[in-house]
Structure 1
Amino acid sequence: MPLDPKALGAALDEDLSAHTTLCRRDAPAFQRACRSSDDLVVACTQESRLFNELSEQTEGAVALDVRPIRFVNLRETGGWGREARAATPKMAALLAAARLPDPEPVPTVTYTSAGRALIIGALDAAEALAARVADVLDVTVLAQGGRGQQAHTWPVQSGELVSLGGWLGAFDAVWRKANPIDLDLCTRCNACVAACPEGAIGLDYQIDLDKCQSHRACVQACEAVGAINFQREASEQRERFDIVVDLRAQPAFAQHAPPQGYFHLPQGLHSEAGLAAVLRLRELVGEFEKPKFFQYKQKLCAHGRNETVGCDACVQVCSALAIRSEVERQQIAVNPNLCVGCGACTTVCPTGALSYAYPRAAEQGAKLRTVLATYAKAGGQDAALLLHSQAAGSALIDALGREAQLRPKAVKGVPARVIPLPLWHTASVGLDLWLSAFAYGASQVWVLVTDEEAPQYLDALSAQMAVAQALVNGLGYSGTHFRLVRARDAATLDVQLASPPAQGVKRRAGFAVQADKRATLELALDHLLQDSAALARSAEAVALPAASPFGAVNVDKDRCTLCLSCVSACPASALLDNAERPQLRFVEKNCVQCGLCATTCPEDAITLAPRLLLSEQRKQPRVLNEAQPYGCVRCGKPFGTLKGVELMLSKLSGHAMFQGEALERLKMCGDCRVVDIYSNPGETRINDL
């Protein structure tokens, strides 16, 4: 693996030296570094366990809980490949990213498990699994057929599962018991099996009621134990468990991301997943914490107004069913116990009401800016960011690097200009950070997706990337800048990464990513508008796909009565009234394309127009509709629009309660109407009041 310590040091403003066998012959150099209180980065992930052990054994070394060692992979991501000798800028960028501080702490979500486990499935498979974990877990089996062991070692229930909900430490299971044999009382003596003349009782110790002819020989055989009772009424039983293992073919949870603490193992122990689950199950006793991955600001939420739903993108995209609509409260609700931290809800949220908290957008932005600035300082050009997951994505990139080292003539490896950056989940970074990365100098931003992403995540990422691509192309930048890299194996990834660069910015941006999503988008757009000013543009507005968080609203003036219900519904102050005259005004910069105005409008006069207006008019209020005011027939004070009052009069003129003076009062302002009612008390009607 070729290394240029002098060039790396120049990019990082440090004097560096390379060690060919740091974990063996050159270990004293690592031990000296362990004794320093400075940040310690080791560019080797293969021997991370050994380095941690060596640090603990080194006298005078700083404790790992005080100063942890950060590890970064330079070998598979750039050192092993055809372009390894040109990968110094990328290596410098990855080292710079590894030196950044850890994300700021966030609130945590706590799970408490006492180890009470429910295993659902065929009796023989369930008991085989129970035997592997019963020394650690308090096991209950809900039998679904199968053949039981002779020994009755743990509680066994029978019945049909009615419902299952919850999460680690708080699963509520309900099942319906309808069989005459109570498996919890059954001693498995087989006397009933031998006594049944119809052979209606199997070794699952349940009676097939379709075969049973009511001889009741089994009842007599089980008289001493009393496990069989044909008079027992069907009943539902509810219990709480900490862990659930489901061995059935169809899982209890249909969503892509089931609750933590739920394991679906249709092949039982006869699979790699089953054996891995046994190890995981044995560890699920105690108290566990995870970050609360999201922050929610209800004031920014465009989900609903006046019991009308506008944007529900987060509800639709959540693969864990952790988000539900509470439109009567004008908000959504996120269950932190069900949230798996994918962040897809934050990327599709147009307003930034939902934001990713660990790491925060500002911390991710700092990493992107550091990586791209270091890459450029080291002489790198046409950087392509490859965002990937820490699990399957990292494994696939490692596999590609190893293939490139073993078969250099057949496999190219990760190109020198491609900078892999791991994320907790590929769906956790979206349009605001992609555009920021492009403004920071990345010619392309790619997201590596494998088999681990939910289908709705891929749809959401594709839709957002279509918006990003339309934006930069509309500004005049040529090429393909944003795309999903779909790969399941190293060979496919090798081909996918061999793509030509696209036109990037001439001047790299220096702004910092903000906590507010819309603020970050505006900073990125402002920079790109200035940078692309000399590029050819086909129009003053860029048409965008429907997933766009930018756009205008079109108002049908023939239908609009200026009732201004859209103004009260708008969560982003994009639609405004005018206190001095009947006007509907619009600030396009504020519009998030949530659709609440369109769904609220009683006249169906509003449609959305996804686009990016390139002129300064985008930030200025403009009039969408205005009307002649209607003056009170008594005092002359304007109290509505001519069109609105005339429409009201035409609709009510045929109503029995609005005839004569009552109809005339509709032409008066509120004050004059009251005066007129009390001036003619004999004609007062309840509708007038």
Structure 2
Amino acid sequence: MQTFGLRHSEITQAKLFDQYPQIATEFDSAIIANTKENCEIYAPEINWYLSHANADEGTKLANVYRLFQTRLSIYDNAPYKEYSLEVPNTLAIIGNESELTQDFITQAQEFDCILIPPTNISHISGELGAFKAVLNDGNEIEFAQAVLFVNDENLPKFLGIVSVQDFGSAKDILALLSKRLGTYTYKTTTLYNPHICQYHQRRPDSNGNGYCHKCVNVCPTFGVSKNDSLMELSFSQLNCMGCGGCIATCPTGALDFASFSIECMIDSLKYYQNTVILLIPEVFLDTLRDISLPSHLSPLIIPREKFPSEVHFLSMVQESNHSMIFYSPIISRPSLEAIKLVNDIYQAICQKQAIFIAQDRETLQTLYNLPTPLPHYSYIPSPKEARRKHFGERLRYLIKDGDFGTIESGESGEMIRYGRIHIDESKCTLCNSCVGACNVDCLSANAQEFALQYNPSLCTTCGYCIPSCPENALRLELSGIELNPSWFETHILAKDELFTCVECGKPFATKKSIQKIKGVMSSHFLGDNAKLRTLECCSDCKVKIMFENV
């Protein structure tokens, strides 16, 4: 089987293909091809590029090869899992008896319709193909899909329930619902690592919520939801629309995009060195039908629009060693904050803009000649590497030994947050409760130095360590990123000396912890010299003293 199949390309110089032996113009079967026949994966972006590129044949073929390799990276690395379910033709019309609802039912000849007045419904549960409406009288009605003729904020978040106000005509609604009939297949969209999630099975905050649930906040469907009783996230690959918004806002990298994971991206970017990347979500290629692409732009096609984070953007800029253009009519708030963050970094260090945004065709054409060369850096993160570590390693290279001041983190204070933990060292007893609370290793205990250590570049500023401190010694400041080498270093926040047992001389605690205990307990033991002495004893000697005074 051929790896890449390219037909009807209008690239006539046969010698050019000698540089790309994986590409065949004549093939019986291929893994990836620009035609739907005789291949496992159809790559329509190839035809889109060839029909819009204003470049010589060598440049065209080089960019076609990059597009093929991106598809191959997804094929090799994307941990897809396919699912399927049956969707019968039962359709609930949720609305009151009216000319509008009756007209819709008349047009829905393909469906078995039932009209349910909204005032009769207690609640609705289920999923596409198997919804259930529980009525106020206790009866139940099962249906596969539904159309809402009333306003409801939550029900349209289910795949399979649509609101008439989101469509232009009944014909458009019925066309969408018809596509789902029969065997409906879908794939994994979101990858989740609960071990570095800052919501999973953690103590709730004072409001009963988790300290981090940004993914839930940005999700427009029921693709991800939270259970504040169990402190666990739930993911529905079925209800997920695959936009990727949750990926961009996750500070730890606990979430990754199945169809274009970090591994996929890094593997793809190997082929984009010394290029100007034009980043385009595949879903928006059709909006660029009448356009001419200059030869110096190399399209990188990604599955969806909302998942790129600061790590994705910084990686693309560094691996390509050029500023880039991101074309997308829709850009998520987390991605916008990430773009501003990366641009602020490059303005401070290089006095250049790293990422140019175009949300329409006219703006895109004005940006063609604006990207410029930038410092090149290649970095391969370790498997499951935390996002802040990956970002920090790339940023460290850019800063080197310089000091470029401080840049602010995300404007909202909710999506992308950077800052520092501060400590009142006089209060800290080195109990290490904060170390136990941190799951991204920005706080650590140094047993040799008897010190509490902190690396600000790894901190997600989730704030979970703050109430974990029994002495109220910690404070969080959302101060942004300090563009100097010390930002990436491990600093000592608090330090102490060992306290030795007054009986046997064995070290068993820190001086501050013993002072704290004595301050609390001494007043309770006044007049009892034996008990007062036990406050300065190790566990073995404490028992001996107590028995000696029985």
Assess, with a 3 A threshold, how the Cα gap between structure 1 residues 492 and 6 changes in structure 2: closer, same or farther. same
Determine the structure 1 residue equivalent to 2:195: 299
Deviation at 1:434, TM superposition (A): 1.7
- Whether the aligned pair in 2 keeps the contact of 1:575 and 1:586 (CA below 8 Å) is yes
From 142, 154, 160, the equivalent of 1:240 is 142
Matches within 5 A, 1:615-634: 615=485, 621-634=490-503
Structure 2 CA distance, aligned partners of 1:562 and 1:87? 66
Q: Classify 1:491/1:576 alpha carbon distance in 2 versus 1 (closer, same or farther; 3 Å).
A: closer
Partner of 1:167: 127
Decide whether the 8 Å contact of 1:548 with 1:610 is kept in 2. no
1:441/1:596 CA distance change after superposition, 3 Å: same
Deviations 1:236-271 (A, max 9, x none): 4443322111122x13527xx72211111138xxx6
- Aligned residues of 1:581 and 1:629 also touching (Cα < 8 A): no
Structure 2 CA distance for partners of 1:510 and 1:80, relative to 1, 3 Å: same
Q: CA deviation at 1:533?
A: 5.3
* Percent of aligned pairs sharing the same letter: 18
The separation in 1 between residues aligned to 2:526 and 2:142, in whole angstroms, is 66
Q: Distance in 1 between matches of 2:509 and 2:332?
A: 49
- State whether structure 2 residue 346 is matched by structure 1 residue 478: no
Q: Distance in 1 between matches of 2:112 and 2:507?
A: 76
Q: Deviations over 1:20-72 (max 9, x none)?
A: xxxxxxxxxxxx95653456744xxxxxxxx65xx6xxxxxxxx3x5555333
Shift of 1:481: 0.9
Match of 1:13 among 14, 19, 34: 19
Distance in 2 between residues matched to 1:477 and 1:613, nearest whole Å: 12
Give CA deviations for 1:562-600 in whole Å, capped at 9, x if unaligned: 221101111022222233564212345543443322342
SS at match of 1:166: strand
Q: Which amino acid aligns with 2:278?
A: L
TM-score by length of 2: 0.80
For the residues of structure 1 that align with 2:461 and 2:14, how far apart are their CA atoms? 46
5+ residue gaps, structure 2, are 1-8, 205-209
Whole-angstrom CA distance in 2 between matches of 1:498 and 1:67: 34
**Deviation of residue 6 (structure 1)?**
6.9
Q: Residues 114, 36 of structure 1: CA spacing in aligned structure 2 closer, same or farther, 3 A cutoff?
A: closer
SS in structure 1 at match of 2:301: strand
Matched, 1:600 2:464: no
The residue that corresponds to 1:395 in the other structure is 286
Q: Compared with structure 1, are the counterparts of its residues 529 and 640 closer, same or farther at alpha carbon in structure 2 (3 Å cutoff)? A: closer
1:463 CA drift (Å): 1.7
Partner of 2:350: helix, strand, or coil? coil
Q: For residues 659 and 73 of structure 1, do their structure 2 counterparts lie closer, same or farther at Cα, with a shift above 3 Å needed?
A: same
Going from structure 1 to structure 2, the CA distance change for 1:531 and 1:142 (only over 3 Å counts) comes to closer
Whether 2:316 is the aligned partner of 1:437: answer yes
1:329 & 1:637 partners in 2: Cα distance?
A: 43
Preserved contact between residue 106 and residue 291 of structure 1 (Cα < 8 Å): yes
The yes-or-no answer on 1:611 pairing with 2:481 is yes
For structure 1, the residue ranges without an aligned partner over 5 or more in a row are 18-31, 43-50, 56-63, 145-158, 177-234, 402-412, 682-689
Aligned equivalents of 1:520, 1:417: Cα separation in 2: 32
Change (3 A) 1:493 1:605: same
Distance 1:424 1:461 in 2: 15
| CA 1:314–1:590: 2 relative to 1, 3 Å | same
What is the match of residue 188 of structure 1?
none
The answer for the alignment partner of 2:173 in structure 1 is: 277
Whether 2:339 is the aligned partner of 1:465: answer: yes
Give the C-alpha shift of residue 500 in structure 1.
1.9
- Displacement, 1:294? 1.7
How many residue pairs align between the two structures?
524
Q: Assess, with a 3 A threshold, how the Cα gap between structure 1 residues 441 and 651 changes in structure 2: closer, same or farther.
A: same
Which residue of the other structure, out of 423, 434, 440, is the alignment partner of 1:566?
A: 434
Which has the larger strand fraction?
2
Distance 1:395 1:12, change over 3 A: farther
Q: State the AA in 1 paired with 2:285.
A: S
- Name the CA shift for 1:462/1:614 in 2 (closer, same or farther; >3 Å): same
Q: Taking structure 1 as reference, are residues 15 and 598 closer, same or farther at Cα in structure 2, changes over 3 Å only?
A: closer
- Match status 1:579 vs 2:447: yes
Confirm whether residue 314 of structure 1 aligns to residue 187 of structure 2.
Answer: no
Matching residue of 1:251: 152
* Structure 1 counterpart of 2:279: 386
Contact 1:548 1:593 in 2 (8 A): no
Equivalence for 1:58: none
Please state whether the residue corresponding to 1:290 is helix, strand or coil: strand
Residue 533 to residue 665, structure 1, CA distance change in 2 (3 Å) = closer
1:367 aligns with 2:268: yes
Assess if the C-alpha contact under 8 Å between 1:462 and 1:484 holds in 2.
no
Partner amino acid for 2:134? V
> What residue is the counterpart of 1:130 in the other structure?
105
Indicate the SS of the match to 2:332. Answer: helix
Separation in 2 of the partners of 1:272 and 1:396?
19
Residue 500 (structure 1) aligns with: 370
Give the counterpart letter for 2:351 in structure 1.
Answer: S
What is the CA distance between 1:328 and its match in structure 2? 6.8
**Equivalent residue of 1:96, what SS?**
helix
Pairing partner for 1:103 from 75, 90, 98: 75
Contact 1:305 1:327 in 2 (8 A): no
* Secondary structure of 1:422's aligned partner: strand
Residue 141 (str. 1) matches residue 112 (str. 2) = no
Structure 2 match to 1:422: 301
Q: 1:521 to 1:346 in 2, by over 3 A?
A: same
Paired letter, 1:545? S
- Alpha-carbon distance in structure 2 between the residues aligned to 1:40 and 1:648: 69
**CA deviation after TM superposition for structure 1 residue 444, in Å:** 2.4
TM-score relative to the length of structure 1: 0.66
Q: Does 1:36 align with 2:8?
A: no
**CA 1:642–1:613 in structure 2 vs 1: closer, same or farther (change >3 Å)?**
farther
- Contact 1:116-1:139 within 8 A present in 2 as well: yes
Q: Which has the larger radius of gyration?
A: 1
**Aligned: 1:335 with 2:208:** no
Matches within 5 A, 1:109-258: 109-123=83-97, 124-134=99-109, 136-143=110-117, 159-176=119-136, 235-248=137-150, 250-253=151-154, 258=157
| SS of alignment partner, residue 426 of structure 1 | coil
Give 2:432's aligned amino acid. L
Change (3 A) 1:621 1:651: same
Structure-2 residue corresponding to 1:288: 184
Q: Distance in 2 between matches of 1:658 and 1:239?
A: 70
Residue 671 of structure 1 pairs with residue 544 of structure 2: no
User: Contact conserved, 1:304 with 1:327, CA < 8 A, in 2?
Assistant: no
- Larger RCO: 1 or 2 (CA < 8 Å, sep 6+): 1
Deviations 1:621-677 (A, max 9, x none): 4422112444444444444443343344444556xx655435654444333333334
3-state SS of 2:337 partner: helix
Q: How big is the shift at 1:542?
A: 5.1
1:165-207 CA-to-partner distances (Å, cap 9, x unmatched) read 432123232343xxxxxxxxxxxxxxxxxxxxxxxxxxxxxxx
